Amino acid sequence: SHSSTGRSPFLVVYGRNPFTPLDLAPLPAVYSYSVDGEAQATQIKALHEQVRDQITKHNLQYQARANKHRKHVVFNEGDLVWIYLRKDRLPPGRYGKLQDRADGPFCVLKRINDNAYKIDLPGSYGVSATFNVANLAPYVDTNDFHGDSGTSRLLKGEDDTDVPDGSSPVDQRAIDENKAGGLSG
């Protein structure tokens, strides 16, 4: 039986399951009217309605499962966004395997619909400026962020060679021995 309908395709089409392989052979066309045939046609129409309802129910279940973790994000004109570029959309000269795929921030020029946006890209990119919402992320200015982001607290030009009061500098020899697995002399 089919996973969505719960019935075999033969049952859905003919209103019964095949008994023998001969049931699968095409039948000759009959042009006479039969009361039994009309009852069977009514039964098959009811079966088709049940199958249609079952498929609709399963499609809604599949849709709910697929959209479970999907976030609905809407950008407005003028918003700054990051763009994520697939291999086929990388600008010329930017083909490195380990290079960032995200770029930005760029300004949203136009919202085509909830799923597509036109982005203000420089001409050097040489790709279409229309992006799917799945390839966009909101830009957050790190200067406005005051929380602990896990980044270094050092300012440009500073180093971290000073040892805080009350602590001892790390013994480099102990680190090297640990890396060697204690095998050295």
Number of domains forming the structure of the chain: 2
Domain end: 22, 39, 66, which one?
Answer: 66
| H/E run at residue 104 | strand 102-113
Q: For 15-60, write each residue's pLDDT tens digit.
A: 777 777 776 677 666 666 667 878 888 888 998 999 999 999 999 9
Residue 32 lies in a domain: yes
Contact 91, 126 (CB under 8 A): yes
Domain that holds residue 93: 80-143
Task: Categorise residue 6: left if φ over 0, alpha if ψ from -120 to 50, beta otherwise.
Answer: left
Residue 163 lies in a domain: no
Cβ neighbours of 81 (radius 10 Å): 22
Tell me the percentage of the chain whose pLDDT exceeds 90.
Answer: 24
Residue 54 lies in a domain: yes
Residue 71 lies in a domain: no
Same domain flag for 59 and 93? no
CA distance 100 to 128: 19
Same domain flag for 96 and 61? no
Look at residues 142, 90, 83 and name the one whose alpha carbon lies nearest to residue 117. 83
pLDDT higher than 70, residue 113 = yes
Residue type, 3: S
pTM attached to this predicted model: 0.47
Within 8 A by CB and 6+ apart from 4, the residues are 54, 55, 58, 59
Q: For 127-136, write each residue's pLDDT tens digit.
A: 888 999 988 9
